[in-house]
């Protein structure tokens, strides 16, 4: 998809998440991507700045927050010694509208004319307030997937699945302004799910579930033939789990974060596991429900489940998730198609889980 192109090729991917901003710089050599640099900064510093006298009640889209985001990006670039200026940035899924619709397939020109009328059925705001994009993701011949009592009518057109995405225009302008304030050239905006699919799935055409456990929420994504088919966000993430540990042990959030990363080993391990289990079980339950609903609707089976996010690195987390889900689960590995220095081998697991979206953005071709 040529989604929100603002120029030529970019070498930097910037993932503005709910808890941190991740930046990855890639170059391409001999047909392979090479990791040149990366950096991260926590949004806690921005939240502290906005809680100062006179800053209370600042809306996430307000200019003041955008100034702090631009400052944080500039500082991260400086400290990480990232010199490239061309950027592909992610836009969170909760700020967008996306769906897959089925239509008769006559020609791309006819589809292009029809899309705006169809999109009105699914997009809750006026179309003149959004940037609209679409892509054909699958064409099925007449009668495909059905048991027919009679041969299909020859002159009946095939059907086509079309992936539609809409982003509010004020959001695209906001991200352009943030990057401009940071001294960068925004070449494209892309949905974070699209970047995640590029980083983790590549050319795999099978049905795949991706569970991305972020700081504030968990995204459950069903991918088929390389495109998003279903996406659900749930307000349970690493931060909620840290709060549960803090309450159970009567410790600070900072200490709870340290204990969480240690997993079920050491002091108070049973209490930590008990505090975490109910929330992790909720994520598993929502994953099961999403997968089963998709399998029942599409009469297919999910071939694999990929787990991503900082929480996935906890000791025995994948094993616990696998046992509860009842399906084989693996950790996402975006570095599988990227060359990186041997000195980063010890950080590979952390980079895979934390920088997956940023790496996928930087891998985007034009």
**Fold of domain 12-362:** Nucleotidyltransferase; domain 5 (3.30.420)
Cα distance between residue 84 and residue 9, in whole Å? 11
pLDDT digits (tens, 9 = 90+) for 281-314: 999 999 999 999 999 998 999 989 999 987 787 7
pLDDT digits (tens, 9 = 90+) for 82-93: 989 999 999 877
Buried/exposed 142-163: b ≥16 CB within 10 Å, e otherwise:
beeeeeeeeeeeeeeeebbbbb
Q: What is the pLDDT of residue 357?
A: 93
Domain boundaries, the chain: 12-362
Q: What is the pLDDT of residue 58?
A: 40
Q: What is the pLDDT of residue 56?
A: 39
What are the backbone dihedrals phi and psi of residue 188, each rounded to the nearest 5 degrees, phi first?
-160, 150
Q: What is the pLDDT of residue 210?
A: 96
Burial of 208 (0-12, 13-18, 19+ CB in 10 A): buried
Which residues lie across from 162 on neighbouring strands? 101, 136
Structure tokens given for 252: 């600070």
What are the backbone dihedrals phi and psi of residue 241, each rounded to the nearest 5 degrees, phi first?
-70, -40
Q: Yes or no: say if 38 and 54 are a contact pair by the CB < 8 Å rule.
A: no
Q: What is the pLDDT of residue 238?
A: 80
Q: Yes or no: say if 238 and 304 are a contact pair by the CB < 8 Å rule.
A: no
**DSSP string computed for 279-313:** HHHHHHHHHHHHHHHHHHHHT----EEEEESGGGG
Q: What is the pLDDT of residue 306?
A: 95
Q: What is the pLDDT of residue 200?
A: 94
For the chain, which residues score pLDDT lower than 70? 1-10, 44-63, 140-156, 262-268, 366
Q: What is the pLDDT of residue 54?
A: 42
Q: What is the pLDDT of residue 241?
A: 84
Give the list of residues 6+ apart from residue 182 with CB closer than 8 angstroms, or none. 69, 70, 71, 73, 74, 77
Buried/exposed 121-139: b ≥16 CB within 10 Å, e otherwise:
eebeeeeeebbebbeebbe
Could you tell me the maximum CA-CA distance found in the chain, to the nearest angstrom? 74
């Amino acid at each position: 998809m040529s989604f929100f192109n603002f120029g030529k090729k970019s070498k930097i991917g910037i993932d503005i998440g709910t808890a941190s901003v991740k930046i990855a710089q890639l170059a391409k050599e001999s047909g392979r991507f090479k990791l040149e640099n990366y950096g991260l900064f926590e949004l806690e510093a921005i939240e502290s700045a906005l809680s100062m006298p006179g800053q209370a009640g600042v809306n996430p889209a307000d200019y003041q927050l955008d100034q702090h985001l631009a400052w944080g990006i500039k500082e991260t670039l400086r400290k990480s010694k990232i010199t490239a200026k061309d950027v592909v940035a992610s836009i969170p899924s909760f700020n967008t509208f996306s769906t897959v619709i089925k239509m008769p397939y006559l020609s791309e020109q006819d589809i292009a004319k029809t899309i705006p009328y169809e999109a009105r059925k699914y997009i809750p705001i006026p179309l003149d307030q959004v940037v609209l994009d679409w892509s054909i993701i699958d064409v099925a011949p007449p009668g495909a997937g059905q048991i027919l009592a009679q041969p299909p009518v020859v002159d009946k057109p095939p059907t086509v699945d079309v992936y539609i995405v809409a982003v509010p225009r004020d959001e695209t302008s906001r991200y352009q302004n943030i990057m401009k304030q940071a001294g960068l050239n925004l070449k494209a905006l892309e949905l974070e799910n699209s970047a995640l699919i590029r980083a983790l799935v590549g050319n795999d055409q099978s049905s795949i579930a991706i569970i991305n456990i972020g700081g504030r929420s968990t995204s459950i994504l069903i991918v088929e033939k390389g495109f998003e088919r279903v996406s659900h966000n749930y307000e349970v993430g690493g931060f909620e789990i840290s709060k549960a540990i803090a309450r159970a042990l009567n410790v600070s959030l900072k200490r709870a974060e340290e204990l969480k990363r240690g997993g079920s080993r050491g002091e108070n391990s049973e209490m930590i596991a008990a505090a975490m289990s109910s929330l992790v079980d909720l994520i598993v339950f929502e994953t099961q429900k999403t997968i089963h609903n998709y399998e029942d609707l599409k009469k297919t089976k999910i071939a694999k489940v990929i787990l991503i996010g900082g929480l996935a690195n906890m000791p025995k987390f994948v094993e616990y998730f696998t046992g509860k889900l009842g399906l084989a689960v693996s950790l996402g590995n975006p570095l599988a198609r990227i060359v990186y220095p041997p000195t980063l081998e010890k950080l590979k697991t952390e980079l895979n889980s934390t920088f997956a979206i940023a790496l996928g953005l930087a891998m985007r071709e034009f």
